[in-house]
C-alpha cells in the first residue's frame, strides 16, 4: 500500500465540512427552524416503533388504513349537525379505557358525557338509568360510579376554552394522573375561543397538539351545501377550511337524511312535471324510498375515511352501523346473502347465527373475521 496521503476531492471535502457543521448544529442547537433531513429519518424510525403510543378508533378498517393517530397528528371527524360525530367519539372512548385521554366539550356537561358512556357500556337506556337513580336504586348508581372508575384516565373539561386555558388544564391533568395524555378530543372546533374563523381555529389546535406532543381528534361541522341531507362525505365536506391541517379525515353521516331530502326533491319534481311517464317514475322511486330505503336506514350511522396522508394513503368507503336508540351504542351492520341470493343487512351476532342455522360452516368461518363490531 502506498504511504502517500489520500487526497480528498473537492466534493468529499465539502461533504466532510457539511457533516461537521451538522454535528455542531445538533450539539449546539444553533438554529430555531432549520433541522437536518437526517432528523426526519430518525423521527420515522421512532414513529414506526411506537404503535402502542398511538391512539386508535377501534374500527378495524379505519385503524388498518390510518395505523393510529400519533403525537402531533390531527384526525378530523367531520359531519353535518346531528350526523353522529359525538356517537363516534363515544365509541372511541369506550374502546380506550386504559388510554389517558382529555375531552374538551364546551357543548356538553361532564355528567351528560358520563351518562352516555354508562348507557352505551352497560346497555341501559339513559331515561331508565335516570329513573332508577331517582328511585334510589343502588345498582343503577353502581353502574354510574363503576363506569367513572373504569374510565378514570379520561379527563373532561366542559367549559369554553382558549389554547392558553388548555395549557393550564393539561398541566393539571399531568399532575393529577402522573402521565401525559396520549390523545385529545375537542368537540367541536368552532367552539374554541380566540381565533375568529374555523381555519384559524384548526391551525391553532393543530399547533397546540404538536407543541404538547399529543394525538388530536377534532370534531368539525360539515358545510351545509356539502354535508347536509346525509349525502356521501368527501374531502370537500369541511366548512371554510380545516381539512388541510388534518392527517386523516373521517366522515360521519346519517343516510336517513339523504332519503328524506330525496323524497322532498321527488315531490317537487312531481309537482312541476307534466309527462305521465316521468311522474310514474318519480312515484316509483318514492315508494322504494318509503318502503325499503328509509326503514332500512332510519337508525343507521355511516362512517368513512375520506382523507389519509399515511402512505399508501388508502381510503375506506362507507361502513354502516346500527344505532341503539335507547343506549346510544352502535353495532356493525354487514351484508349476508341468503340461500335465495337475497342480500340481508344484519348485525354481527345475527349474521353468524343466521349462517350457522343454515349450516354454512365455511361461510361462517369466512365471515367471523369480517363481521366485526366496534
Is the sign of the CA dihedral 219, 221, 226, 232 positive or negative?
A: positive
- Is position 24 within any domain? no
Question: Average of pLDDT values for 193-203?
Answer: 90
- Is position 73 within any domain? yes
* 258 and 333 part of one domain: no
What are the distances in angstroms from CA 101 to CA 56, 161, 201, 243, 304?
12, 17, 21, 23, 23
Pairwise CA distance, residues 109 & 96, whole Å:
20
pLDDT tens, position by position, 110-153: 999 999 999 999 999 999 999 999 999 999 999 999 999 999 99
* 156 and 290 part of one domain: no
H-helix or E-strand spanning residue 194: none
pLDDT tens, position by position, 74-116: 999 999 888 899 999 999 999 999 999 999 999 899 999 999 9
* 125 and 175 part of one domain: yes
- Is position 80 within any domain? yes
Beta-carbon-side half-sphere exposure of residue 67 (alpha carbons within 13 Å):
12
pLDDT tens, position by position, 172-187: 999 999 999 999 999 9
* 225 and 241 part of one domain: yes
Confidence class of residue 373 from pLDDT cuts 50, 70 and 90? Answer: very low
* Domain limits for position 266: 254-297
* 64 and 156 part of one domain: yes
**Best CA proximity match to 330, nearest among 10, 31, 92, 29:** 92
Confidence class of residue 15 from pLDDT cuts 50, 70 and 90? Answer: confident
The domain spanning residue 165 has which CATH number?
3.40.50.300
* 63 and 79 part of one domain: yes
* 71 and 137 part of one domain: yes
Pairwise CA distance, residues 298 & 4, whole Å:
85
Evaluate if residue 350 carries a pLDDT over 70: no
Pairwise CA distance, residues 52 & 98, whole Å:
12
pLDDT at res. 120: 94
* 166 and 82 part of one domain: yes
**Best CA proximity match to 53, nearest among 185, 213, 240:** 213
* 211 and 357 part of one domain: no
Whether 242 and 76 have beta carbons less than 8 Å apart is answered as yes
Selection from 42-56, 223-237, 360-374 with the highest mean pLDDT: 42-56
* 108 and 210 part of one domain: yes
In this structure, the strands spanning 330-337 and 343-347 are: antiparallel
Confidence class of residue 234 from pLDDT cuts 50, 70 and 90? Answer: confident
Tell me the three cell numbers of residue 199: 381555519
Integer Rg of the chain from CA: 26
- Is position 178 within any domain? yes
What DSSP state is assigned to residue 236? Answer: G
- Is position 20 within any domain? no
pLDDT at res. 240: 46
Confidence class of residue 364 from pLDDT cuts 50, 70 and 90? Answer: very low
- Is position 48 within any domain? no
Whether 81 and 252 have beta carbons less than 8 Å apart is answered as no
- E strands of 168-315, at which residues? 183-186, 215-221, 248-253, 300-308
> Nearest 5°: phi and psi at 164?
-65, -45
Number of domains in the chain: 3
What DSSP state is assigned to residue 9? Answer: P
pLDDT cut 90: percent of the chain above it:
64
- E strands of the chain, at which residues? 74-79, 101-104, 154-157, 183-186, 215-221, 248-253, 300-308, 316-323, 330-337, 343-347
Confidence class of residue 221 from pLDDT cuts 50, 70 and 90? Answer: confident
User: In which residue are the cell numbers 356493525 written?
Assistant: 332
- Is position 215 within any domain? yes
* 134 and 247 part of one domain: yes
Pairwise CA distance, residues 371 & 348, whole Å:
5
- Is position 34 within any domain? no
* 121 and 63 part of one domain: yes
Evaluate if residue 222 carries a pLDDT over 90: no
Evaluate if residue 70 carries a pLDDT over 60: yes
Amino acid at each position: 500500500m502506498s504511504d502517500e496521503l489520500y487526497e480528498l476531492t473537492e466534493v468529499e471535502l465539502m461533504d466532510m465540512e457539511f457533516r461537521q457543521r451538522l454535528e455542531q448544529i445538533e450539539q449546539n442547537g444553533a438554529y430555531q427552524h432549520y433541522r437536518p433531513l437526517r432528523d426526519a429519518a430518525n423521527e420515522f424510525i421512532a414513529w414506526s416503533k411506537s404503535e402502542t403510543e398511538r391512539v386508535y378508533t377501534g374500527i378495524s378498517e379505519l385503524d388498518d388504513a390510518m395505523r393510529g393517530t400519533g403525537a402531533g397528528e390531527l384526525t378530523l371527524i367531520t359531519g353535518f349537525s346531528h350526523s353522529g360525530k359525538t356517537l363516534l367519539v363515544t365509541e372511541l372512548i369506550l374502546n380506550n379505557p386504559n388510554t389517558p385521554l382529555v375531552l374538551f366539550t364546551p357543548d356538553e356537561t361532564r355528567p351528560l358525557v358520563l351518562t352516555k358512556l354508562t348507557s352505551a357500556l352497560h346497555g341501559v337506556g339513559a331515561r331508565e338509568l335516570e329513573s332508577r337513580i331517582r328511585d334510589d336504586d343502588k345498582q343503577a348508581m353502581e353502574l354510574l360510579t363503576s363506569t367513572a372508575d373504569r374510565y378514570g384516565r379520561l379527563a373532561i373539561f366542559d367549559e369554553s376554552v382558549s389554547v392558553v386555558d388548555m395549557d393550564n388544564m393539561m398541566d393539571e391533568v399531568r399532575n393529577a394522573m402522573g402521565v401525559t395524555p396520549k390523545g385529545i378530543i375537542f368537540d367541536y372546533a368552532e367552539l374554541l375561543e380566540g381565533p375568529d374563523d374555523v381555519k384559524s381555529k384548526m391551525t391553532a389546535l393543530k399547533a397546540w397538539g404538536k407543541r404538547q406532543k399529543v394525538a388530536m381528534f377534532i370534531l368539525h361541522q360539515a358545510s351545509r351545501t356539502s354535508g347536509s341531507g346525509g349525502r356521501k362525505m368527501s374531502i370537500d365536506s369541511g366548512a371554510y377550511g380545516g381539512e388541510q391541517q388534518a392527517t386523516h379525515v373521517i366522515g360521519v353521516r346519517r343516510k336517513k337524511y339523504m332519503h328524506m331530502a330525496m323524497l322532498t326533491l321527488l315531490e317537487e319534481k312531481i309537482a312541476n312535471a307534466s309527462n305521465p311517464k316521468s311522474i310514474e317514475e318519480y312515484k316509483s322511486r318514492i315508494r322504494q324510498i318509503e318502503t325499503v330505503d328509509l326503514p332500512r336506514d332510519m337508525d343507521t350511522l355511516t362512517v368513512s375515511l375520506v382523507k389519509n396522508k399515511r402512505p399508501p394513503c388508502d381510503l375506506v368507503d362507507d361502513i354502516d352501523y346500527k344505532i341503539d336508540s335507547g343506549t346510544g351504542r352502535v353495532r356493525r351492520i354487514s351484508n349476508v346473502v341468503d340461500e335465495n341470493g337475497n342480500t340481508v343487512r344484519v348485525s354481527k351476532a345475527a349474521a353468524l347465527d343466521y349462517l350457522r342455522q343454515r349450516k354454512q360452516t365455511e361461510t361462517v368461518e369466512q365471515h367471523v373475521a369480517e363481521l366485526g363490531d366496534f
